[in-house]
A and B are shown apart, each in its own frame.
Chain A
Amino acid sequence: MFKSSHLPLEHADKKSWASGGASSSSPMEYPTPLNFYEKPPMFDVKLEQFEQSALDRLRILAEIESCSARGRPWDETKRIVSTLCQKHLRLSSNTAGGDLGIMDTQKEDERRKDHLSHFVLRLAFCRTEDLRQRFITAESTLFRCRFEEATPAERTLLYESRDFKWVKVDDVEKKSLEANLRATLTGFKNIAEQNDAWDRDAFYKVQWSQVPQLVEHRRVFLKKGWAYVPARQQSAIVFREFEVHLRQALNMTNRAMPQMDEDTRLTPIIDHLSQGFLAGVASDWQYEEGDDTTKLRAEQVDEYAKKHWPLCMRSIHDQLKKDHHVKHYGRLYYTLFLKGMKLDINEAIAFWKKSFQGGKVTEDKFNKEYRYNIRHTYGQEGKRANYQAKTCVALLTGDAEYGCPYRFLAPESLQTRLQISYADQGLQSSDIHEILNNKKGSHFNIACTRVFEITHAKYVKKGEGLGQSETVTHPNLYAERSIEFETKKEGPTKVTSKQEDDDLEGIIMQVD
């Protein structure tokens, strides 16, 4: 039976962010886009905003984790995060002016959303040490990206906003320690440049434990427990303080959580959020709707499955072909996936009917039971809900038999399955080791992304993921990208119409 599961949170309408009834707040509520998140948001929010803002932020944090798992260099990570932030969690600079159409009220809204989403995720990630650590690492990376993009004036505002416990080294002391301090001014082309930096830059004294990374790599001068930090390394103090403060805050939130549980509206949302982060992805990829033209025909499914489906859907497809049957979750996942691939209701019924032929299910039984369920899934029966295709999060935390094979299969079975499925698309046995390693490190979506890279080596290089360094977060995204690459290469005439090509562009714009 196709059961109607509870409404997945990805359904939340993507309404534009509206100021949450706090229109009376002064424009100086957030003097800078850089927030140390010391005070919780005190304004009213709608439940929907509560959730949507957190989902948007989660998507960015998940991408940060993915960058780190793939060992991307800092510049690349920063570029990816910055691009993603533009889309989901924009924070305009103070200097972003009217000619860009960014009004002060809009900046306030952006900053309020940033503020709120951070605190919502604190609730979701305060509960275990593992989650706390991951959240701190990801949030610190995000903060660092933003700090580096901030203007000097904005940084100064941040410096003045709180006590960073640094003491500026006065000129007399600076002079007396000249040789030692100069030795920490490194990386200059010539002595003139270093002299210039020496004359211009200040030094700040902090307790050495405030800058452990600089100490570990001997980038500072130490005396009696004080670290002398050159101004150009001052950001290290800020980043460290951000982490320490966030750690304390998360521990406090964790202790306060039992009182929170009373609010039954929030608990399921928070549970769902932490689940998504655990799976390593925050996905709410959505396909374009409203176009009635048939995009995929029943008889094309087999060909597409071999060429374009990710391993999860490919596995269901192969089992269906072999046994002429799959169990409940297999049907549910695959029907929704195919719906997302624009197999319309009539084609879907044709496809399933044909697939069941030769098995135990008679046509009569099919018409009585399965047909209804397919129609239900398409929102044509019962409560007529418009169900979305399952995301990677859902498949990672879902049914063990039909869910994410990278997570649920034993290493040996996964190896066999990969070889059977992708050997003719360029997957070598030498690639398997890396994929199994990703699995071992619980980076399931990265294993999947890597398989995409290998099987689409004509179009993407290692590290480029689904193009533009994106990681697989949704089976439909995987398939769409695969089709898109092929279509672009071979021209739109073969399998798609001009119309579809345009739509695919639309989808790409949306997910980028």
Chain B
Amino acid sequence: MASDAMDIDGSSPEALRAFYNRLYPFPSIYKWLNQNDQAPSRLFTHREFAFTLPGDIYLRYQSFKDEKEFKAQVLRHVPTRFEIGPQYTFRPRDKKTAKPGTFNPLARELVFDIDMTDYDPIRTCCTDAGICKRCWGFIAAAVHVLEDSIRDQYGYEHLLWVYSGRRGIHLWISDWGAMELSDELRKAIVGWLTVVLPGKDSGKKVNVRSHSKSLPPSIGAVIGHLAEVFDELILETQDVFASTEGYEALLALIPDAALVHTLRSKWVADPSRPSTDKWQDLRQLVKNHKQKALLKSAMEDIVLQYTYPRLDAEVSKHRNHLLKAPFCVHPKTNRICVPVDPKTVDDFDPDEVPTVGQLLLELNNAGKDSAAEDEWKKTSLAPYVEMLEAHTAAIIESKRAIKQEKNGMSW
């Protein structure tokens, strides 16, 4: 528990070293990146790692010949965190000896990054770095939408969700079809999944109805679910339209001046009227309005604007973008970047994610009876490492199946 963890200062370099030495699941990370539990492949040996050291020192283009060297180098530098990049045409550490123009990224997990700060204009509970159970709802909604879209529309199967340690979540997709996507194709997926235009300013940010009145099928497929999220999260939990600022932002999205006027008069007289009631007011007026179809579309767009996943597009578009490795420690919260099961993402509580201090304490309490291997098994890190192990096993299994199918064909 958090109070016990006070005995160990999780943010000290010693704690970090102990964490890397005894708990960080190097074998699991290695297998996951290598997509193979045998000898190191180029997916691992030609892969870029980047270390962040205290004092804003950034070591790029690190690469390792095997799992052993990987762990040794991490222990040598004790980075506050490290990031994973693509497999390059050469070993990244030999970058300087490559001919100009020949050092290029080849393959890389398709990644997505969702960060709470992109929801700052709409969330009412926290701002900036803060996150609580109440605003996790936005992340959970995003996970559901992306899970469905990517599995159903793109047919990818090997999705790993990882808590970013503070206020966001990362998605790593390891299907071979996704690994080898060019930057251009990654950009196309990002375009497909971008519904809310980025930017801090308010106003209408959803424009998905080109040439037609109805929603594109991919968005139509999730609007029902998002409407529920909207009722629970936006209207009840967050009560977004309770403030003057909040309901003015809503009114700005309604394309009928008379209607806006009616609503504003009503709400000015009773500003604290709950969001649910205000949304009901709008719904009533639209029901009998002669522009019903137009306004219903506008309401759908409002639901999307408040609930559809907001992606950090740049992270996904480029193969050479670096993304923090799973199981790193977040330097501010000391929490571990653990995998998240999308099936139970709604119940995920960021405050319950283990911290370095807590894990080291658990380790101390467990005593030294068993072997030094897999010490994570004795801590609350265990279920998370097992999640990654199962994920990797599925990747390896489907690679094997594809290989067998190919061999069978050539027979």
Asked whether B208 lies within 8 Å of A218 as measured between CB atoms, the reply is yes
Residues of B within 8 A of A (CB-CB), count: 27
A215 / chain B contacts, CB cutoff of 8 Å: 188-189, 191-192
Taking CB as reference atom, which chain A residue is nearest B154? A225
Cα A218 to Cα B101 in complex, Å, equals: 34
Q: A186-B212, A222-B153, A225-B155 are in contact. Are A217 and B191 (CB under 8 A)?
A: yes
The total number of A-B Cβ pairs within 8 Å is: 63
Q: A216-B192, A222-B154 are in contact. Are A186 and B211 (CB under 8 A)?
A: yes
Cα A225 to Cα B191 in complex, Å, equals: 16
Q: Is B364 an interface residue (CB 8 A)?
A: no
Asked whether B220 lies within 8 Å of A209 as measured between CB atoms, the reply is no
Asked whether B188 lies within 8 Å of A129 as measured between CB atoms, the reply is no
Q: Of B48-56, B131-139, B177-185, B290-298, which stretch is located at the interface?
A: B177-185
Whole-angstrom distance between the Cβ of B173 and the nearest chain A Cβ: 12
Provide the A219-243 mask, 1 if CB < 8 A to any CB of B, else 0: 0011111100000000000000000
Q: Is A28 an interface residue (CB 8 A)?
A: no
Cα A460 to Cα B187 in complex, Å, equals: 40
Q: Of A187, A212, A223, which one neighbours B188 at CB under 8 angstroms?
A: A212
Q: Of B154, B214, B218, which one neighbours A218 at CB under 8 angstroms?
A: B218
Q: Is B367 an interface residue (CB 8 A)?
A: no
Q: A209-B185, A222-B154 are in contact. Are A217 and B210 (CB under 8 A)?
A: yes
Asked whether A225 lies within 8 Å of B218 as measured between CB atoms, the reply is no
In chain B between 145 and 160, which residues have their CB closer than 8 angstroms to a CB of chain A? 152-156
Provide the A184-227 mask, 1 if CB < 8 A to any CB of B, else 0: 10110000000000000000000011001101111001111110
B184 / chain A contacts, CB cutoff of 8 Å: 212
Cα A222 to Cα B210 in complex, Å, equals: 17
Whole-angstrom distance between the Cβ of A400 and the nearest chain B Cβ: 25
Q: Is A183 an interface residue (CB 8 A)?
A: yes
Whole-angstrom distance between the Cβ of B159 and the nearest chain A Cβ: 14
Taking CB as reference atom, which chain B residue is nearest A214? B188
B153 / chain A contacts, CB cutoff of 8 Å: 222-225
Cα A120 to Cα B184 in complex, Å, equals: 28
Q: Of A179, A187, A208, A217, which one neighbours B217 at CB under 8 angstroms?
A: A179
Q: Is A386 an interface residue (CB 8 A)?
A: no
Whole-angstrom distance between the Cβ of A354 and the nearest chain B Cβ: 53
Q: Is A367 an interface residue (CB 8 A)?
A: no
A213 / chain B contacts, CB cutoff of 8 Å: 188
Provide the A154-198 mask, 1 if CB < 8 A to any CB of B, else 0: 000000000000000000000000011001101100000000000
Taking CB as reference atom, which chain B residue is nearest A128? B101
Asked whether A218 lies within 8 Å of B211 as measured between CB atoms, the reply is no
Cα A208 to Cα B150 in complex, Å, equals: 12
Taking CB as reference atom, which chain B residue is nearest A221? B217
**Interface of B (DSSP majority class):** helix
Cα A225 to Cα B188 in complex, Å, equals: 13
Chain A residues touching B, range? 20 to 34
Q: Of B190, B208, B218, which one neighbours A222 at CB under 8 angstroms?
A: B218
A184 / chain B contacts, CB cutoff of 8 Å: 216-217
Q: A222-B218, A223-B152 are in contact. Are A187 and B192 (CB under 8 A)?
A: no
Whole-angstrom distance between the Cβ of A221 and the nearest chain B Cβ: 5
Asked whether B101 lies within 8 Å of A129 as measured between CB atoms, the reply is yes
- Pick the most buried of B152, B154, B211: most chain A CB atoms within 10 A of its CB: B154
- Pick the most buried of A129, A213, A222: most chain B CB atoms within 10 A of its CB: A222
Cα A216 to Cα B185 in complex, Å, equals: 9
Asked whether A186 lies within 8 Å of B210 as measured between CB atoms, the reply is yes
Asked whether B154 lies within 8 Å of A208 as measured between CB atoms, the reply is yes
B214 / chain A contacts, CB cutoff of 8 Å: 183
Asked whether B216 lies within 8 Å of A212 as measured between CB atoms, the reply is no
A217 / chain B contacts, CB cutoff of 8 Å: 191, 210
Taking CB as reference atom, which chain B residue is nearest A177? B217
Taking CB as reference atom, which chain B residue is nearest A212? B188
Cα A224 to Cα B215 in complex, Å, equals: 20
Asked whether B155 lies within 8 Å of A218 as measured between CB atoms, the reply is no
A128 / chain B contacts, CB cutoff of 8 Å: 101
Cα A217 to Cα B208 in complex, Å, equals: 9
Cα A262 to Cα B153 in complex, Å, equals: 51
B191 / chain A contacts, CB cutoff of 8 Å: 215-218
- Pick the most buried of A184, A218, A223: most chain B CB atoms within 10 A of its CB: A218
Whole-angstrom distance between the Cβ of A43 and the nearest chain B Cβ: 35
Asked whether B211 lies within 8 Å of A187 as measured between CB atoms, the reply is yes
A180 / chain B contacts, CB cutoff of 8 Å: 217
In chain B between 199 and 220, which residues have their CB closer than 8 angstroms to a CB of chain A? 208, 210-212, 214-220
Provide the B28-64 mask, 1 if CB < 8 A to any CB of A, else 0: 0000000000000000000000000000000000000
Cα A213 to Cα B185 in complex, Å, equals: 9
Cα A329 to Cα B212 in complex, Å, equals: 61
Taking CB as reference atom, which chain B residue is nearest A209? B185
Q: A212-B188, A215-B192, A217-B191 are in contact. Are A183 and B217 (CB under 8 A)?
A: yes
Asked whether B220 lies within 8 Å of A183 as measured between CB atoms, the reply is yes
Binding site for A on B (CB under 8 A): 101, 152-156, 177, 181, 184-185, 187-192, 208, 210-212, 214-220
With A186-B210, A222-B192 given, can you name 13 additional A-B contacts, CB distance below 8 Å? A128-B101, A180-B217, A183-B212, A184-B217, A209-B181, A209-B185, A212-B187, A217-B191, A221-B217, A221-B218, A223-B153, A224-B155, A226-B155
List of 10 A-B pairs having minimum Cβ-Cβ separation, nearest first: A216-B191, A212-B188, A225-B155, A224-B155, A186-B211, A222-B153, A180-B217, A216-B188, A186-B212, A187-B211
Can you report 11 residue pairs joining A to B where beta carbons are below 8 Å apart? A183-B214, A186-B211, A209-B181, A212-B185, A213-B188, A222-B154, A222-B218, A224-B153, A224-B155, A225-B154, A225-B177
